[in-house]
């Protein structure tokens, strides 16, 4: 048990060592969507290789994304979000992706009250 | 949107949750609180508010695929769950090292499990019905009464007016230990202002199972049906009315494997346990906000309970009836600005008990009118205060005051330091809270009873003070929280449950000291995306004076370690794993079953418990299938029942339970949301 905790502590605190600070970028852009249900989809889509963190706010529709610039870039991330049906920054959503959204997430015509 | 938020805001307000003490007019804050639920962790500790509250969400409850309230704390380190005895299959909870009866349970802020249902009542709330729970340790708000020295657990049911909820939710469950369960939560928005819920639950343990091989059923054969119907009406003028009824029917048959219902309890026949419970509850809430006077509202809560139970434990017969009535009127207003909120009101608690144990009747009527006032200050970001005082008059025990104080201070960012102190009083229902000892041949003895009191005993009075600290952090782009708390409970009077002599269980007023120290530390961290880790450790030092000797309270583990891992994939697979280490517990002296005499007191071995669950959802979560296992190490207490081979002899004792009564269990089930 003791060893297990020690192992965990070491793993926890050694994480930041991997991240090279200068390589990390944080950007904010608008992603169209409706509610909490869209949130998971948007963040999952943003969360691709090189992305450290993605937070989408359903109230102001802003996505804050932190990523390693050497592994990915803003356009790639936005493209990935657009693919699942949400307008991301300047990239319009993919039509097939949009049509697959559940009714309440089809933000162009509907709104949801969650 | 506006309407719904209003409704929720209003609902919350009426319920008088602590959070509402903050400010009812800052509706944006309320909206935040409502929407946040969908995206927070499954268990969340709020940094604001004077009272530390663990919000246990529906997602946390799903981790245990649990069936009722007593089983829903398996992933909550603050609460210990253990079998009451080797026969009845009931589990009881412990908080701060004190038995469950010291925790006040409320259903949407109306007192729920009290009196004769102290233990059995935890099975009357099916997990599927629960939307979420708020758990707080130590003294709570005076608005909800004078009981609950160890803490409060408030249970919120799924709401009929919530768009988030499906029209119907069906849950089916089957375990390898022959337990079958079905639940239905149906909601209907009748009109814009009127909505209703129908909630149904049925369960059965339909096979005789003896995994520990002692000749006794590990849990009784049982059937349980619970049904409830409730209505909400929100009037545009600021009125809200809600009401509901709930019925419980439960029948159990347990004991030796070949026992059948109503077989006479004489030596040579199989030893048997059987119980029947009928319970009916009704409640109403009427409330009003005054749109012209922001921050001003009033609410009236009413509830009535009829409870009837009949039980047979071997030769011991125990019957009980309870009629209770509760009324609570709360008036809330602001003093000048919304920084100062004052809640005041009056309450009435009426309980009528008629019990018969082994032919001796015990009856009493308690009626307790009271008044209360609670002031909260929220004018400063750095700190806030809730100070409450209530005065009650008890028809048997006289007048008493209940002061309580909560303070929160923010020393630095993302941190919260809180302190609380308060008094609590309650009447111990000595038989209903100790049904575990009925599964033995111990005699029940009330030492030196005085006339005119409850069972001839005085009320329990205790002071609780506590300190807790929560720090949220972000490490390597992942969120985490560290939380630690310390609580100290000091009894001025306690009904001591003395099982130190193996021939009896004695009840008497405390003469000497009785206290409980509790320390807990918990770390929550998202290791990688969607992989959540929770580590916790807690320590108790619980001691009571038994016949002049200060001793560790029996069957309480001083140490408990806890780890939980939860992982969720993008395609809606969920994995959950919990491992716990439970330290030794003191076992009082017992009869020696070979050669006569007694065995000196000892300590139980420590043991490890594991549970795991996998689930997969389809159609945006509308269909979910789960498969899980409990007690995966298949660890069981041996021997479970002392003198199991001679149940009609004095040494028979199924009440000294420190470990799992049942072996490994595998279950599977389905949750189906019909939109």
ipTM of the assembly? 0.74
For residue B41, the model assigns a pLDDT of 63
Is B620 in Cβ contact with A52 (below 8 Å)?
Answer: no
| Domain assignment present for A113 | no
How many other CB atoms sit within 10 Å of the CB of residue A68? Answer: 16
Average pLDDT estimate for B371-385: 93
What does the pLDDT look like over B575-613, one tens digit per residue? 999 999 999 999 999 988 766 788 899 999 999 999 999
B237 touches A at CB < 8 Å:
no
Integer Cα distance of B137 and B78 in angstroms: 8
Is B478 in Cβ contact with A5 (below 8 Å)?
Answer: no
Best B2, B39, B568 member to test A by mutation, with max A CBs in 10 Å, is B39
What does the pLDDT look like over B141-161, one tens digit per residue? 999 999 999 999 999 999 999
Contacts with A2 from chain B: Cβ below 8 Å: none
HSE of A52 in the Cβ direction (CA atoms, 13 Å)?
23
For the ranges B10-24, B390-404, B467-481, B625-639, the lowest mean pLDDT is seen at B10-24
Domain boundaries, chain B: 2-674
Contacts with A11 from chain B: Cβ below 8 Å: 527
Is A1 in Cβ contact with B581 (below 8 Å)?
Answer: yes
Is A47 in Cβ contact with B529 (below 8 Å)?
Answer: yes
Superfamily of domain B2-674: TonB-dependent receptor, beta-barrel domain (2.40.170.20)
B3 touches A at CB < 8 Å:
no
pLDDT grade for B272, boundaries at 50, 70 and 90: very high
Nearest chain B residue to A20 by CA: give it. B476
Helix, strand, coil percentages in chain A from 3-state DSSP, rounded to 5 = 45, 20, 35
B:327-346 residues touching chain A, CB 8 A cutoff:
none
How many other CB atoms sit within 10 Å of the CB of residue B599? Answer: 15
Integer Cα distance of A73 and B401 in angstroms: 65
Is A114 in Cβ contact with B38 (below 8 Å)?
Answer: yes
Tokens representing B48?
Answer: 């604001």
Structural domain count of chain A = 1
The DSSP secondary structure of B595-650, one letter per residue, reads: SSSEE--EEPPPEEEEEEEEEEEETTTTEEEEEEEESTT----SSSSBTTT-TTST
For the ranges A80-84, B205-209, B404-408, the lowest mean pLDDT is seen at A80-84
Integer Cα distance of B8 and B464 in angstroms: 32
Question: Is 60 exceeded by the pLDDT of residue A53?
Answer: yes
Q: How many CB pairs under 8 A join A and B?
A: 42
Integer Cα distance of B442 and B445 in angstroms: 9
Integer Cα distance of B196 and B398 in angstroms: 42
Domain containing residue A75: CATH number: 3.30.70.100
Integer Cα distance of B589 and B547 in angstroms: 15
Integer Cα distance of A51 and A53 in angstroms: 6
Average pLDDT estimate for B75-81: 89
What does the pLDDT look like over B199-256, one tens digit per residue? 999 999 999 999 988 999 999 999 999 999 999 999 888 899 999 999 999 999 999 9
Handedness of CA B218, B320, B426, B447 (dihedral sign): negative
Nearest chain A residue to B622 by CA: give it. A102
Cβ(B430)–Cβ(B455) below 8 Å: yes
B35 touches A at CB < 8 Å:
yes
Nearest-CB residue to A66 (from B163, B477, B527): B477
Nearest-CB residue to B163 (from A5, A8, A113): A113
Contacts with B525 from chain A: Cβ below 8 Å: 12
Q: 3-state secondary structure string, B290-341?
A: CCCCCCCEEEEEEEEEEEEEEEEECCEEEEEEEEEEEEEEEEEEEECEEEEE
Helix (H, G, I), strand (E, B) or coil at A70: coil
Contacts with A5 from chain B: Cβ below 8 Å: 535
Closest approach of A52 to chain B, Cα-based (Å): 6
For residue B36, the model assigns a pLDDT of 29
Most confident of B41-45, B69-73, B646-650: B646-650
HSE of B219 in the Cβ direction (CA atoms, 13 Å)?
20
Question: Is 50 exceeded by the pLDDT of residue B26?
Answer: no
Question: Is 90 exceeded by the pLDDT of residue B364?
Answer: yes
Nearest-CB residue to B38 (from A19, A36, A102): A36
Nearest chain A residue to B165 by CA: give it. A114
Helix (H, G, I), strand (E, B) or coil at B153: strand
Contacts with A114 from chain B: Cβ below 8 Å: 35, 38, 163-164
Name the nearest CA neighbour of B114 among B96, B100, B134.
Answer: B100
Integer Cα distance of B282 and B293 in angstroms: 32
Question: Is 80 exceeded by the pLDDT of residue A46?
Answer: yes
| Domain assignment present for A59 | yes
Phi-psi region of B597 (alpha: psi -120 to 50; beta: other; left: phi over 0): left
Helix (H, G, I), strand (E, B) or coil at A44: helix
What does the pLDDT look like over B307-343, one tens digit per residue? 999 999 999 999 999 999 999 999 999 998 889 999 9
Average pLDDT estimate for B628-639: 93
Provide the pairing of β-strand B607-618 with B573-582.
Answer: antiparallel
Question: Is 50 exceeded by the pLDDT of residue B32?
Answer: no
A10 touches B at CB < 8 Å:
no
Contacts with A58 from chain B: Cβ below 8 Å: 35
Both ends of chain B: CA-CA distance in Å? 19
For residue A3, the model assigns a pLDDT of 63
A14 touches B at CB < 8 Å:
no
Contacts with A39 from chain B: Cβ below 8 Å: 38-39
Cβ(B90)–Cβ(B81) below 8 Å: no
Handedness of CA B632, B634, B635, B637 (dihedral sign): positive
Residues of the domain holding A36:
23-105
pLDDT grade for B53, boundaries at 50, 70 and 90: confident
Cβ(B289)–Cβ(B238) below 8 Å: yes
| Domain assignment present for A64 | yes
Helix (H, G, I), strand (E, B) or coil at B29: helix
Average pLDDT estimate for B385-390: 96
What does the pLDDT look like over B493-552, one tens digit per residue? 999 999 999 999 999 999 999 999 999 999 999 999 899 999 999 999 999 999 999 999
Best B2, B33, B57, B477 member to test A by mutation, with max A CBs in 10 Å, is B477
Contacts with B35 from chain A: Cβ below 8 Å: 36, 58-59, 114
For residue B407, the model assigns a pLDDT of 96
Average pLDDT for chain B: 90
Question: Is 50 exceeded by the pLDDT of residue B191?
Answer: yes
Question: Is 80 exceeded by the pLDDT of residue B39?
Answer: no
Angle at B97 between CA B662 and CA B658, to 5 degrees: 25
B:508-537 residues touching chain A, CB 8 A cutoff:
525, 527, 529, 533, 535
Q: 3-state secondary structure string, B71-124?
A: HCCCCCCCEEEEECCCCCCCEEEEECCEEHHHEEEEECCEECCCHHHCCHHHHH
For residue A15, the model assigns a pLDDT of 53
Give, for B3, the enclosing helix (H) or strand (E).
helix B2-15
Radius of gyration of chain B (CA): 24
B2 touches A at CB < 8 Å:
no
What does the pLDDT look like over A3-36, one tens digit per residue? 666 666 665 555 554 545 568 889 999 998 887 7
For residue A2, the model assigns a pLDDT of 59
What does the pLDDT look like over B557-579, one tens digit per residue? 999 999 999 999 988 899 999 99
- Between A114 and B343, the more confident residue is B343
Question: Is 50 exceeded by the pLDDT of residue B174?
Answer: yes
| Domain assignment present for A36 | yes
């Amino acid at each position: 048990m003791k060893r297990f905790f020690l192992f965990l502590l070491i793993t926890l605190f050694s994480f930041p060592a991997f991240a090279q600070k200068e390589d990390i970028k944080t950007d904010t852009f608008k992603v169209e969507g409706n509610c909490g249900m869209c949130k998971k989809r948007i963040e999952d889509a943003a969360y691709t290789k090189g992305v450290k963190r993605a937070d989408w706010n359903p109230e102001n529709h802003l996505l804050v994304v932190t990523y390693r610039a050497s592994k990915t870039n803003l356009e790639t991330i936005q493209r990935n979000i657009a693919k699942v049906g949400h307008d991301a920054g300047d990239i319009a959503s993919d039509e097939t992706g949009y049509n697959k959204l559940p009714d309440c997430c089809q933000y162009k015509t509907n709104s949801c009250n969650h | 949107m506006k309407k719904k938020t209003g409704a929720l805001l209003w609902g919350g307000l009426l319920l008088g949750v602590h959070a509402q003490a903050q400010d009812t007019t800052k509706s944006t804050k309320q909206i935040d609180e409502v929407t946040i639920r969908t995206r927070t962790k499954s268990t969340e500790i709020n940094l604001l508010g004077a009272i530390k509250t663990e919000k246990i969400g529906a997602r946390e409850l799903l981790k245990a695929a649990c069936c009722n309230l007593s089983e829903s704390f398996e992933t909550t380190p603050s609460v210990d769950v253990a079998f009451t005895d080797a026969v009845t299959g009931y589990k009881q909870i412990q908080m701060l090292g004190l038995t469950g009866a010291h925790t006040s349970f409320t259903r949407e802020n109306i007192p729920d499990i009290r009196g004769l249902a102290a233990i059995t009542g935890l099975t009357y709330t099916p997990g599927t019905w629960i939307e979420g729970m708020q758990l707080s340790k130590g003294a709570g708000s005076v608005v909800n009464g004078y009981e609950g020295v160890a803490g409060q657990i408030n249970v919120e049911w799924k709401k009929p007016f919530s768009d988030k909820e499906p029209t119907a939710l069906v849950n089916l469950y089957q375990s390898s230990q022959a337990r079958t369960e079905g639940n239905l939560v149906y909601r209907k928005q009748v009109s814009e202002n009127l909505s209703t819920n129908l909630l149904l639950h049925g369960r059965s343990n339909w096979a005789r199972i003896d995994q520990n091989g002692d000749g006794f059923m590990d849990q009784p054969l049982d059937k349980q049906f619970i049904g409830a119907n409730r209505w909400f009406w929100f009037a545009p003028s600021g009125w809200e009315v809600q009401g509901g009824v709930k019925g419980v029917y439960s029948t159990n048959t347990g004991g030796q494997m070949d026992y059948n219902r109503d077989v006479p309890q004489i030596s040579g026949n199989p030893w048997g346990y059987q119980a029947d419970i009928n319970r009916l509850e009704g409640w109403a809430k009427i409330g009003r906000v005054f749109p012209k006077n922001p921050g001003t509202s009033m609410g009236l809560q009413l509830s009535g309970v009829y409870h009837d139970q009949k039980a047979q434990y071997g030769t011991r017969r125990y019957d009980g009836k309870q009629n209770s009535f509760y009324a609570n009127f709360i008036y809330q207003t602001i003093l000048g600005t919304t920084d100062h909120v004052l809640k005041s009101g009056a309450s009435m608690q009426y309980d009528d008990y008629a019990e018969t144990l082994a032919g001796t009747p015990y009856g009493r009527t308690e009626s307790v009118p009271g008044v209360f006032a609670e002031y909260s200050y929220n004018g400063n970001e750095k700190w806030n205060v809730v100070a409450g005082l209530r005065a009650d008059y008890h028809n048997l025990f006289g007048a008493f005051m209940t002061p309580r104080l909560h303070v929160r201070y923010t020393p630095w960012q993302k941190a919260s330091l809180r302190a609380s102190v308060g008094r609590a009083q309650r009447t111990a229902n000595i038989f209903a809270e100790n049904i575990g000892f009925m599964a033995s041949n111990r005699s029940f003895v009330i030492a030196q009873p005085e006339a005119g009191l409850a069972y001839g005993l005085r009320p329990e009075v205790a002071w609780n003070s506590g300190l807790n600290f929560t720090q949220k952090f972000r490490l390597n782009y992942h969120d985490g929280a560290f939380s630690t708390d310390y609580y100290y409970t000091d009894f001025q009077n306690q009904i001591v449950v003395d099982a130190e002599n193996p021939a009896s269980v004695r009840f008497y007023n405390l003469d000497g000291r009785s206290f409980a120290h509790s320390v807990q530390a918990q770390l929550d961290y998202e290791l990688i995306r969607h992989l959540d880790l929770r580590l916790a450790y807690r320590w108790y030092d619980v001691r009571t004076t038994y016949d002049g000797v200060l001793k560790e309270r029996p069957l309480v583990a001083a140490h408990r370690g806890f780890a939980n891992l939860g992982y969720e994939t993008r395609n809606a697979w969920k994995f959950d794993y919990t491992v716990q280490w439970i330290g030794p517990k003191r076992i009082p002296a017992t009869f020696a079953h070979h050669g006569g005499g007694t065995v000196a007191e000892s300590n139980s071995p420590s043991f490890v418990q594991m549970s795991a669950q996998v689930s997969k959802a389809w159609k945006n979560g509308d269909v979910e299938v789960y498969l899980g296992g409990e007690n995966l190490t298949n660890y069981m207490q041996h021997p479970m029942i002392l003198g199991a081979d001679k149940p009609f002899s004095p040494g028979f004792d199924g009440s000294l339970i420190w470990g799992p009564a049942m072996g490994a269990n595998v279950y599977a089930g389905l949750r189906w949301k019909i939109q």
